Structure 1
Amino acid sequence: MKKLFYALGCAAAVCLAGGCDDDDDLGYQTVSVSFAVSEVGMEGSSAEVGLKLSRAAKEDLKVTVAITSTEVSVSDLVFTPALEDGKLVVSIPTGATTASFRVDKAAGETPEGSMQFLIEAISSTGDYKIGTVNETKLSFSPIVSTGSEMQLEGKAGGSEGDADLKYRNIVYVDLSNNRQVQVYRKTWDLGFYCGDEFRVILNSAYKTLAAGSGKTDFAAVTLEDADAAPSLLGSMMGDSFEKNADDTSGDLAKTVFGEIAADGEVFFVASEDNKTTDGVEDRTLWYKVKVSRSEAGYKVEYGKVGDTSPKVAEIAKDPLCGFIGFSLASGEQVEAQPEAKKWDLSWSYAAAWSTMNSGPMLSFSQDVITINRHSGAAVATVMLGEGETLAQKYQNYTLADAQAAEFEVDADIIGTTWRDPFGKKVKTDRFFVIRDCGGNYYKLQFLSFIEDEGGERGRPEIGYALLK
Structure 2
Amino acid sequence: MKKNLVFILSLVMLAFAGCSDDDNKGSNPISVAFGVPSLNLTDATTPIQIVFSKPTTAAGSLNISFVTTAVAYGTDFTTAPAATGTTLTIPYAANVSSVSFNFNKLTNAVPTDVKNVKFTIIDATNVTVSNNNRIQVNFNEAASLGQAMAAAVGGPNQPNQVYIDLSSGGNATALRTSWDLGFYGGTDFRVTINGSLKMAAKKLETTNIDEVQSPDESMIISQGQGVASQIDHPAGLITGTAIEAVSANDADNKVYLINMGSNPSETAPSTGSEGSASGTLRGWKKVRILRSGMDYKIQYADIDATTHEEKIISKNSAYNFTFFSLVTKNVVNVEPQKNQWDINFTTFTNLVGPTTPYYYPDFVVTNLKGGARSYQVVNTETLNYDTFTLANVVSGNFTEDQRNIGSNWRSTSITGPGGLPVSAFVLKTDRFFVIKDPAGNIYKLKFTGGANASGERGYPTFQYALLQ
TM-score (norm 2): 0.63
Equivalent in the alignment of 1:266? 255
Residues matched between the structures, number? 326
Q: 1:351-362 maps to which residues of 2 (within 5 A)?
A: 351-353=349-351, 362=357
2:404 aligned with 1:413, yes or no? yes
**Cα deviations across residues 239-271 of structure 1 (Å, max 9, x unaligned)?**
x33232111101222211011123211011122
Q: Secondary structure at the match of 1:422?
A: strand
Partner residue of 2:69 out of 110, 113, 122: 110
The Cα of 1:350 is off from its aligned counterpart by: 1.5
**Cα deviations across residues 87-109 of structure 1 (Å, max 9, x unaligned)?**
xxxxxxxxxxxxxxxxxxx9846
The Cα of 1:396 is off from its aligned counterpart by: 1.2
Equivalent in the alignment of 2:366? 371
Whether contact under 8 Å (2:198, 2:262) holds in the other structure is no
Q: Which amino acid aligns with 2:329?
A: G
Equivalent in the alignment of 1:35? none
Q: For the residues of structure 2 that align with 1:395 and 1:280, how far apart are their CA atoms?
A: 41
The Cα of 1:147 is off from its aligned counterpart by: 0.8
The Cα of 1:48 is off from its aligned counterpart by: 6.8
Equivalent in the alignment of 1:458? 458
Q: 1:76-95 maps to which residues of 2 (within 5 A)?
A: none
Q: Mark the CA change 1:142 to 1:362 in structure 2 (over 3 Å): closer, same or farther.
A: same
Q: Which amino acid aligns with 2:69?
A: T
**Cα deviations across residues 190-236 of structure 1 (Å, max 9, x unaligned)?**
0000000010001111222111122111123x23xx34x45333222
Q: Which amino acid aligns with 1:266?
A: V
Equivalent in the alignment of 1:200? 191
Q: For the residues of structure 2 that align with 1:304 and 1:404, how far apart are their CA atoms?
A: 48
Aligned alpha-carbon RMSD (Å): 3.4
Q: For the residues of structure 1 that align with 2:412 and 2:400, how far apart are their CA atoms?
A: 23
Q: For the residues of structure 2 that align with 1:257 and 1:107, how far apart are their CA atoms?
A: 42
Q: 1:254-403 maps to which residues of 2 (within 5 A)?
A: 254-261=240-247, 262-263=249-250, 264-272=253-261, 285-353=283-351, 362-385=357-380, 387=381, 393-403=384-394
Q: Mark the CA change 1:282 to 1:249 in structure 2 (over 3 Å): closer, same or farther.
A: closer
Q: Mark the CA change 1:340 to 1:302 in structure 2 (over 3 Å): closer, same or farther.
A: same
Q: Which amino acid aligns with 1:317?
A: K
Q: Mark the CA change 1:425 to 1:451 in structure 2 (over 3 Å): closer, same or farther.
A: same
**Cα deviations across residues 54-86 of structure 1 (Å, max 9, x unaligned)?**
xxxxxxxxxxxxxxxxxxxxxxxxxxxxxxxxx
Equivalent in the alignment of 1:253? 239
The structure whose residues are more often helix, as a share, is: 1
**Cα deviations across residues 6-37 of structure 1 (Å, max 9, x unaligned)?**
xxxxxxxxxxxxxxxxxxxxxxxxxxxxxxxx
Whether contact under 8 Å (1:274, 1:286) holds in the other structure is no
Q: Secondary structure at the match of 1:186?
A: helix
Q: Mark the CA change 1:250 to 1:404 in structure 2 (over 3 Å): closer, same or farther.
A: closer
Q: Mark the CA change 1:242 to 1:324 in structure 2 (over 3 Å): closer, same or farther.
A: same
Equivalent in the alignment of 2:56? none
Whether contact under 8 Å (1:174, 1:345) holds in the other structure is yes
Q: Secondary structure at the match of 1:218?
A: coil
Equivalent in the alignment of 2:230? 244
Q: Secondary structure at the match of 1:291?
A: strand
Runs of 4+ in 1 over 6 A off after TM superposition: 111-115, 279-283
Q: Percent identity?
A: 29
Q: Mark the CA change 1:341 to 1:293 in structure 2 (over 3 Å): closer, same or farther.
A: same
Q: Structure 1, unaligned stretches of length 5 or more?
A: 1-37, 50-105, 116-138, 157-162
Q: For the residues of structure 2 that align with 1:396 and 1:425, how far apart are their CA atoms?
A: 24
Whether contact under 8 Å (1:352, 1:416) holds in the other structure is no
Q: Secondary structure at the match of 1:438?
A: coil
Q: For the residues of structure 1 that align with 2:455 and 2:258, how far apart are their CA atoms?
A: 36
